[in-house]
Structure 1
Amino acid sequence: MAQQNAAYCTPAIGLDPPPAAARRPDSPSLLRGHVATIAAFVTNGLASDLPSSVPFRFHVSGGSCGPATLTGLYFPTPGSRELVILLHGMGGNVHSAYQRRATSALCALGMSVLRLGQRGSSRDPEDLHHAGLWEDLAAVLRDDATVARYERVYVVGFSMGGHVALHLAAARRPRLAAVVSICSPLYLDGAVRHMDRPESAVYRRHVLAGLRHMYRDIARRRPVPVSPSEVDRAETLRAWDHLTVVRRFGFRDPTDYYESQSAGRILGALATPALLLYSPQDPMVPPSTLAGLEAHERRSPAVRVAWMDGGGHIAFPRRLDLGLGPAVPCTPYEQIAAWLRRQPAPEAAS
């Protein structure tokens, strides 16, 4: 049976930057990426959530960004000693549809799951978050009693959530065993320029709709430097960042924010094992925005990059092979879970 599983695997294109053809995908490939992305959005939205969730709440008492209350959904699996923390993408929250399939698959594999909302994403948001704000997640790992029950803790981040997870992996946090970053930008300036193109209007409007809703809710709870009506007029991600993130967190301008917070610049510093999964057909984070990933000498040995054969943005191909051997079934989350479990034991908390 193991050999049969292996025979039907769709192998990853490779564990390094994709071939030149993938970096310059043709029109049919781009179309397949759009179709895969939209199809995943629809099918994930139709999936029912597990009924076993427990409300999660954690107060960040300090840090460089000030206090905040984080909320989430906790899905305990009886007898599990492993916890996967799922981080949503920009404009998303703990109810984002792509997390339902991940939760069901990982719980079925014997793992517990915590879907953690970043600051600003709850029903009663108190503050904004940004693409490099990893300190809140570090506080949860360090101080939360629920997380402390588990022997091994992993973080799986989707899109911008994966970007935050990579910052955490570079911060050498105790008890963190490994991270998986799925379709995450690495170089924020290039990613934003791509999303602000007219060709990306559908995706950009979807993201901005979630961000505007979040900002209006924040404005009802605390003073904000820019009125929601002015923010609502922002039609690009760069304009949104200029009006909100830059002013809230003290960056000089969007360029300063992007350059200082891009995870691509810290790939050489990652101490925690990190798996970066990409699709060459991704319409939101295409290979052209990841050009710096080719600098092998700047990558830590802890970093592994896998390019999927197919899929789209947060849209897996039906089968995936990360080279883990014929005994591992080739469904995406079976492969991800097996990779996580093969990483060394995490550093003990002091």
Structure 2
Amino acid sequence: MSEWQSADFTPPRGLSSAHVQTLLPRLLPRIRLAREMEILELPDGDFVELSWIAPAPRHVHAPIFLLFHGLEGSFDSPYARWLLATARDMGWRAVLMHFRGCGSRPNRLPRAYHSGDTADAYWLMGELSHRYPQALKIAAGVSLGGNMLLKLVAEQGGAGLDLAGAIIISAPLDLAASAERLHQGFSRVYERHLLNALKRKVGPRLARGELPLALDQRALARIDSLRGYDDAVTAPLHGFRDAADYYQRASAGRLLGEVELPTLILHADDDPFMPAGLFNRLPAPADAVRLEVTRHGGHVGFMEWHNRRLSPWLARRLARELADWANLGNAWLPSADRRLSRSDN
């Protein structure tokens, strides 16, 4: 069984509150990051948008960092900018996949995305394997994207994906428990924010009659919880009986003991999106899993005082992880070319 480890994250004095940590990233200046957009066509006729960080490494064998965002996240999410910039600065080819409808335009089909929807990520990984067959590839998922990625990794086994490893950050691995926690206390602030974003997206599609739902605008407006939304929208759109069925089938936590691919899980025990002691209620992780739990950090927060300023510990932790992987697969590029590639980025 994999053992839990204490991560080396220490919050600044006076900034250890879970809610402060969760909200701080939104208050800091956003990193400027150039990108190139790509529309990736999917087998069912829909599409996802990819954001490739520019400029890309010149060498075709440069390692690839693939990022999956959280619920209603995007390239503009603070954590996405930090993680993608970190990978770029280390000479990696960095790309973010927007879940359906989370990019610059609505998706085509009468459906959306959800926490257990692994098919699009699997298709993208196949495309990356075709384009860059010799490149080392590491994928990371944040929040909803983390649950999705862990589920995909567990389902596909150690050799089922062209991935060297996975990184799971602040993932709600027990979706039912997460929905319950978000409906309590101050966490309802986050729930309302997410609900409003979801309603803004689905409302116009309902009005245009694009979605096969027994729901009108008034009923949508009355929904006051994520569980209610999942009952009325997520479950019927994606073939689940109800929210309970969706939560049970889509939660990746139940698969922790089946993971064969090297996987790092980063989690804060005070995450206001999840109950404390989350991993006490889940199966023991497999040997391939490294679980690092911090006492503080909030939800995708982990803000620390580093180099005389507030900065994201997640970026520093990612840099260390990617460096370890690059050292293991350092045949991808001669050292002189690697230095040149990094200086150009």
TM-score range, shorter chain: 0.7 to 0.9
1:305 aligned partner: 291
Amino acid at match of 1:119: R
Residue 68 of structure 1 corresponds to 46
Q: 2:58 aligns with which of 57, 78, 97?
A: 78
Cα distance in 1 for partners of 2:91, 2:258 equals 31
The reply on whether 1:334 has 2:312 as its aligned counterpart is no
TM-score, reference length from structure 1: 0.78
Q: Which runs of structure 2 are paired with 1:214-233 in the superposition (5 Å)?
A: 214-216=201-203, 218-219=205-206, 220=208, 222-225=210-213, 226-233=215-222
Q: Distance in 2 between matches of 1:291 and 1:17?
A: 14
Number of residues of Structure 1 aligned to a counterpart in Structure 2? 305
1:212 matched residue in structure 2: 199
The correspondence for 1:50, drawn from 33, 37, 42, is: 33
**Any unmatched runs of 5+ in structure 1?**
1-13, 19-27, 321-329, 346-350
CA contact (8 A) 2:182 2:272 kept: no
Does 2:114 correspond to 1:130? yes
The answer to whether the 8 Å contact 1:277/1:307 transfers is: yes
Q: Are positions 1:99 and 2:64 aligned together?
A: no
Q: CA deviation at 1:229?
A: 4.2
Could you tell me whether the CA contact under 8 Å between 2:16 and 2:296 is conserved in 1?
Answer: no
* TM-score between both structures, scaled by the size of structure 2: 0.79
What SS does structure 1 have at the residue aligned with 2:99?
coil
> Is this contact kept in 1: 2:151–2:252, CA < 8 A?
yes
Q: Quick one: which of 168, 174, 178 aligns to 1:181? A: 168
Task: State the AA in 2 paired with 1:108.
Answer: D
TM-superposed deviation, 1:186:
1.0
Cα distance, 1:278 vs structure 2: 0.7
Q: How does 1:110-259 map to 2 (within 5 A)?
A: 110-126=91-107, 127-144=111-128, 148=132, 151-170=135-154, 171-172=156-157, 173-216=160-203, 218-219=205-206, 220=208, 222-225=210-213, 226-259=215-248
Q: Secondary structure, in 3 states, of the residue corresponding to 1:176? A: coil
- Aligned with 1:102: secondary structure? helix
Task: Verify the 8 A CA contact 2:18 2:296 in the aligned structure 1.
Answer: yes
Q: 1:195–1:201: 8 Å Cα contact kept in structure 2?
A: yes
TM superposition shift of 1:109: 1.1
Instruction: Give unmatched runs, 5+ long, in structure 2.
Output: 7-12, 307-314, 331-345
Pair 1:336–1:308, CA change in 2 (3 A): farther
Give the match's secondary structure for 1:72.
strand
- 1:315 corresponds to 2:301: yes
SS of equivalent residue, structure 2 residue 66: strand
CA contact (8 A) 1:33 1:313 kept: yes
Deviation, 1:291, is 2.7
CA–CA separation in structure 1 for the residues paired with 2:297 and 2:130: 34
2: distance between equivalents of 1:343 and 1:255? 42
Q: For residue 206 of structure 1, report the CA deviation from its aligned partner.
A: 1.4
Read off the aligned partner of 2:210 and give its amino acid letter. Answer: R
Distance change >3 Å, CA 230–CA 93, structure 1 → 2: farther
User: What letter matches 2:40 in structure 1?
Assistant: F
What's the CA shift for 1:227? 3.2
CA deviations 1:288-315 (Å, max 9, x no partner) are 444324x43xx22111100135322111
Structure 2 distance, partners of 1:306, 1:255, is 29
- Change in Cα spacing, 1:29 to 1:147, as seen in structure 2 (3 Å) is farther
Specify the alignment match of 2:4 in structure 1.
16
Question: Equivalents in 1 of 2:255, 2:19: separation in Å?
Answer: 30
Shift of the alpha carbon at 1:74? 0.6
- Residue 241 of structure 1: CA displacement? 0.2
**One-letter amino acid of the counterpart of residue 316, structure 2:** T
Alpha carbons of structure 1 residues 199 and 290: separation in structure 2 relative to 1, 3 Å:
farther
Counterpart AA for 1:315: G
Q: Do the aligned residues in 1 keep the contact of 2:24 with 2:303 (CA within 8 Å)?
A: no
**Are residues 303 and 147 of structure 1, via their aligned partners in 2, closer, same or farther at CA, if it must alter by over 3 Å?**
farther
Equivalent residue letter for 2:228: A
Offset at residue 277 of structure 1 (A): 0.1
Structure 2 vs 1, CA of residues 133 and 312 (structure 1 numbering), >3 Å: closer, same or farther? same
Quick one: distance in 2 between partners of 1:132 and 1:247? Answer: 14
Q: Distance in 2 between matches of 1:115 and 1:32?
A: 29
1:259-274 alignment, distance < 5 Å: 259-274=248-263
Counterpart of 1:277 (choices 266, 275, 289) is 266
| 1:250-307 CA distance string (max 9 Å, x none) | 21111111111110111122121111101122222343444324x43xx221111001
Shift of 1:88: 0.8
Equivalent-residue separation in structure 2 for 1:241 and 1:343 (angstroms): 42
Which deviates the most, 148-157 or 212-221?
212-221
- The secondary structure found in structure 2 opposite 1:131 is coil
RMSD (CA atoms)? 2.9
